[in-house]
């Protein structure tokens, strides 16, 4: 074992000296070594500078805005969200915004590549967005071209999402502001409502009491109207007919005419009585004369005289009676005159009476026709009962509403912006990264070191050894041939680290660990590439390019490997590139719970496997010193 180790060490040193001798024999190789040493640092510098801080240059990205929003007047306020949004975007200058008047001009500019994308605001945007009648009613358009630049299209999508959130937040803040104002006013209106309900309750209570009184009164009125109806209809049924009234008036007129005839007869009777009274006087005188003249007659004179005396007495009584009759006749005439006068008045009164009774009859008939029927009176009484019942229900409803309305409104706390966006997602970062370019360092530096290892390996014939060293162990050949290339990659590492620390100003507390990680990665990459050349010959050089492509796809340097296809997820853990990226992330950012040793161990294991493969299956070519030369001609 000791003999093998001694042969291994001597052989390694001898081959290393032979490699260094080549540099003395071909000094121009140092130029190639210098050029190869600069390449990884230059590659890292160029690429990382291009992606170092893209967000800091978004203001240079041309973006168009076309605002055709007409705005609207909503609940006493004028709103034009399109104009307000345009002003905000132009002020913040997140992109290189340019305004366009025509939609087609903006679309054409995007298609030509003059704009990365364009924001198109339609005329009805505010009218649809502000009321919020439907989800997504207010629509804007982000117009972009993926074919022109896919990354710009992705930026447009992210901008659309952020703008959507921003506009909704702005609208929500305005709506909440209106809600707070309305809530404040609603509290005052609630107090007014409660006062109004109290007055309404008092009014409803009064109405209920009045309706009960009205119900009782309606019942009494209904019953009274029924009695009046009965009396009116009884009067109507017994009211004299028009013919009877006309007969009464005609009888009064006939009575008046008869009374006048009676007066005329009494006058004639008075004249006759006067004549009778004169004849009675004459009869009395003749009888007295006859009594006196016949008293002297013989034999019959006494009798005749007595008869004449009796006749005279009778004539005297007749005369007295006629005087009384005349006096009575005079009184009868005077009474008849008064009776005539009364009869005239009676006739006039009877006429007025009959006319009045006729008119009153007509009024009674009309009144009877206008009086409500008993059914209507029953409905009137029932309506009074319903009114009272409705008033009771109204009072009960008012009391229920009054009890249901809260005494005060719970006042919303906070302000409009807080209510519009009351939840804020706070992201806690376990392994913070300074910027986009720093995030690319693990992946891009790994690629640069791989390229540097490839170029370092191409400077020398990795399978070519002097014939005098043909007897040394295969492992010694491997280690000896890698000596100078390792020195080249070490130079590359130094220049890359200088570029990171002093040119790009990368901040890392573990500078030594960063350098050690890069040295380990470069040496292992060099070993892997040498193994592929030794095992597969010249075809191995092609495989190094394919292996780089595979490692970029499956190494998880840009995207999480879980987002890749199943094959790439399967080979991820078997690739040295994956563990190099993890080691860089650990030393730069403290990622993977600072398991730097584990990642470096896996990288070193890949190098051991590569050296073992070279030692076991390496194809060595033994040549004379005159054929022992670098792989490149300088």
Handedness of CA 189, 193, 194, 198 (dihedral sign): positive
Dump the DSSP string for 280-309: HHHHHHHHHHHHHHHTTSSSSHHHHHHHHH
Residue 86 pLDDT > 50: yes
Residue 420 located in a structural domain = no
Q: Are residues 74 and 38 in the same domain?
A: no
* Cβ atoms < 10 Å from Cβ of 19: 21
Instruction: Name the DSSP class of 98.
Output: E
Q: Are residues 66 and 155 in the same domain?
A: yes
Residue 553 located in a structural domain = yes
Q: Please say whether the beta carbons of 617 and 535 come within 8 A.
A: yes
Residue 104 pLDDT > 90: yes
CATH code of the domain containing 250: 1.10.287.950
Handedness of CA 555, 557, 562, 563 (dihedral sign): negative
Q: What is the 3-state secondary structure (H, E, C) of 73-90?
A: EECCEEECHHHHHHHHHH
Q: Please say whether the beta carbons of 118 and 142 come within 8 A.
A: yes
Q: Please say whether the beta carbons of 520 and 66 come within 8 A.
A: no
Q: Are residues 491 and 545 in the same domain?
A: yes
Q: Please say whether the beta carbons of 522 and 488 come within 8 A.
A: no
**pLDDT (tens digit, 9 = 90+) per residue, 522-537?**
999 999 988 888 888 7
- Grade residue 518 by pLDDT with cuts at 50, 70 and 90: very high
Q: Are strands 464-466 and 621-623 parallel, antiparallel or unpaired?
A: parallel
Q: Are residues 183 and 88 in the same domain?
A: yes
Selected residue with higher pLDDT from 578 and 256: 578
Instruction: Name the DSSP class of 504.
Output: S
What Cα–Cα distance (Å) separates residue 356 from each residue in 347, 367, 583? 14, 16, 131
Using DSSP's 3-state secondary structure scheme, residue 624 falls into coil
Q: Are residues 456 and 557 in the same domain?
A: yes
Q: Are strands 141-144 and 117-121 parallel, antiparallel or unpaired?
A: antiparallel
Examine the fold and report which residue of 356, 374, 392 is the final residue of a domain before the chain moves on.
Answer: 374
Q: Could you tell me which of 67, 90, 84, 94 has the C-alpha nearest to residue 171?
A: 84
Q: Are residues 175 and 298 in the same domain?
A: no
Examine the fold and report which residue of 327, 347, 374 is the final residue of a domain before the chain moves on.
Answer: 374
**pLDDT (tens digit, 9 = 90+) per residue, 120-145?**
999 988 888 877 777 777 888 889 88
Q: Can you list the pairs that 158-167 forms with residues at least 24 positions away whose Cβ atoms lie under 8 Å?
A: 159/63, 159/94, 159/95, 159/117, 163/85, 163/119, 167/81, 167/85, 167/129, 167/138, 167/140
pLDDT, residue 604, reads: 94
Residue 72 pLDDT > 60: yes
Residue 383 located in a structural domain = no
Residue 7 pLDDT > 50: yes
Q: Are residues 35 and 66 in the same domain?
A: no
pLDDT, residue 2, reads: 74
- Grade residue 601 by pLDDT with cuts at 50, 70 and 90: very high
Q: Are residues 276 and 134 in the same domain?
A: no
Q: Are residues 353 and 335 in the same domain?
A: yes
392: Cβ–Cβ under 8 A, 6 or more apart, which residues? 208, 211
Q: Please say whether the beta carbons of 142 and 117 come within 8 A.
A: yes
The share of the chain scoring above pLDDT 70, in percent, equals: 72
Residue 38 located in a structural domain = yes
Residue 235 located in a structural domain = no
Residue 237 located in a structural domain = no
pLDDT, residue 423, reads: 46
Q: Could you tell me which of 130, 128, 116, 129 has the C-alpha nearest to residue 159?
A: 116
Residue 505 located in a structural domain = yes
Residue 166 pLDDT > 90: no
Q: What is the 3-state secondary structure (H, E, C) of 548-599?
A: HHHHHHHCCCCCCHHHCCHHHHHHHHHCHHHHHHHHHHHHHHCCHHHCHHHH
Question: Cα dihedral angle (150, 151, 152, 153), rounded to 10 degrees?
Answer: 50
Q: Are residues 472 and 359 in the same domain?
A: no
Q: How many domains does the chain have?
A: 3
Average of per-residue pLDDT values in the chain: 77
pTM over cut 0.95? no
- Range of 310's domain? 242-374
Q: Are residues 9 and 77 in the same domain?
A: no
pLDDT, residue 408, reads: 60
| Beta bridge mates, 77 | 74
Examine the fold and report which residue of 331, 351, 374 is the final residue of a domain before the chain moves on.
Answer: 374
Q: Are residues 450 and 599 in the same domain?
A: yes
pLDDT, residue 490, reads: 92
Q: Is 93 left (phi over 0), alpha (psi -120 to 50) or beta?
A: left
Residue 215 located in a structural domain = no
CATH code of the domain containing 177: 3.40.1710
Instruction: Name the DSSP class of 167.
Output: H
pLDDT, residue 270, reads: 72
**pLDDT (tens digit, 9 = 90+) per residue, 334-392?**
776 776 776 667 667 766 767 776 777 677 677 666 667 667 667 767 777 777 777 77
Instruction: Tell me the C-alpha distance between 560 and 594, whole Å.
Output: 19
């Amino acid at each position: 074992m000791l003999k093998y180790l001694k042969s291994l060490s001597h052989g390694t040193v001898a081959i290393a000296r032979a490699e260094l001798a080549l540099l003395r024999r071909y000094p121009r190789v140092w130029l190639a070594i210098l050029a190869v040493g600069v390449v990884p640092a230059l590659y890292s510098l160029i690429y990382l500078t291009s992606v170092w801080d893209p967000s800091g240059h978004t203001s240079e990205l041309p973006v168009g805005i076309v605002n055709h929003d007409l705005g609207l007047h909503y609940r006493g306020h004028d709103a034009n969200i399109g104009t307000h949004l345009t002003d905000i975007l132009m002020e913040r200058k997140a992109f290189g915004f340019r305004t366009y008047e025509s939609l087609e001009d903006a679309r054409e500019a995007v298609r030509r590549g003059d704009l990365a994308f364009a924001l198109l605001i339609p005329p009805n945007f505010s009218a649809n967005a502000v009321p919020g009648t439907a989800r997504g009613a207010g629509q804007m358009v982000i117009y972009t071209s993926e074919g022109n630049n896919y990354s710009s299209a992705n930026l447009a999508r992210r901008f659309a999402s952020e703008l959507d959130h921003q506009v909704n937040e702005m609208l929500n803040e305005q709506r909440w502001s209106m809600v707070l104002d309305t809530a404040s006013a609603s509290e005052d209106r609630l107090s007014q409502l409660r006062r109004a309900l109290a007055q309404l309750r008092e009014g409803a209570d009064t109405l209920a009491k009045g309706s009960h009184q009205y119900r009782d009164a309606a019942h009494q009125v209904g019953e009274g109207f029924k009695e009046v109806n009965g009396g009116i209809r009884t009067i109507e049924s017994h009211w004299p007919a028009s013919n009877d009234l006309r007969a009464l008036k005609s009888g009064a007129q006939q009575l008046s005419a008869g009374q006048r005839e009676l007066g005329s007869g009494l006058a004639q009777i008075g004249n006759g009585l006067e004549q009778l009274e004169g004849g009675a006087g004459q009869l009395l005188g003749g009888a007295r004369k006859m009594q006196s003249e016949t008293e002297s007659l013989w034999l019959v004179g006494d009798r005749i005289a007595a008869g004449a005396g009796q006749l005279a007495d009778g004539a005297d009584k007749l005369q007295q009676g006629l005087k009384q009759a005349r006096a009575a006749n005079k009184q009868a005439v005077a009474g008849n005159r008064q009776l005539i006068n009364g009869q005239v008045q009676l006739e006039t009164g009877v006429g007025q009476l009959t006319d009045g009774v006729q008119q009153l009859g007509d009024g009674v008939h009309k009144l009877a026709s206008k009086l409500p029927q008993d059914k209507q009176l029953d409905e009137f009484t029932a309506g009074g009962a319903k009114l009272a019942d409705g008033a009771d229900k109204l009072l009960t409803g008012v009391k229920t509403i009054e009890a249901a309305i809260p005494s005060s409104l719970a006042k919303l706390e906070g302000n409009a912006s807080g209510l519009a966006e009351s939840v804020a997602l706070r992201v806690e970062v376990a392994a913070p990264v300074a910027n986009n370019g720093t995030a690319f360092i693990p992946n891009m530096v790994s690629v640069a070191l791989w390229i540097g290892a490839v170029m370092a390996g191409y400077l020398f014939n990795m399978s070519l050894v002097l014939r005098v060293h043909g007897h040394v162990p295969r492992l010694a050949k491997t280690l000896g041939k890698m000596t100078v290339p390792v020195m080249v990659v070490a130079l590359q590492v130094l220049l890359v680290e200088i570029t990171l620390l002093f040119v790009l100003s990368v901040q890392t507390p573990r500078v030594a660990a960063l350098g050690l990680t890069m040295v380990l990665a470069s040496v292992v990459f060099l070993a892997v590439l040498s193994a592929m050349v030794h095992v597969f010959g010249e075809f191995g050089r092609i495989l190094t390019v394919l292996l780089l492509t595979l490692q970029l796809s499956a190494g998880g340097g840009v995207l999480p490997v879980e987002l890749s296809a199943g094959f790439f997820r399967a080979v991820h853990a078997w690739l040295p590139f994956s563990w190099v990226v993890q080691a860089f992330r650990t030393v730069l950012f403290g990622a993977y719970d600072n398991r730097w040793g584990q990642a470096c161990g896996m990288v070193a294991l890949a190098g051991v496997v590569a050296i073992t493969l070279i030692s076991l299956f390496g194809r060595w070519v033994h040549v004379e010193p005159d054929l022992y030369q670098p792989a490149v001609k300088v």
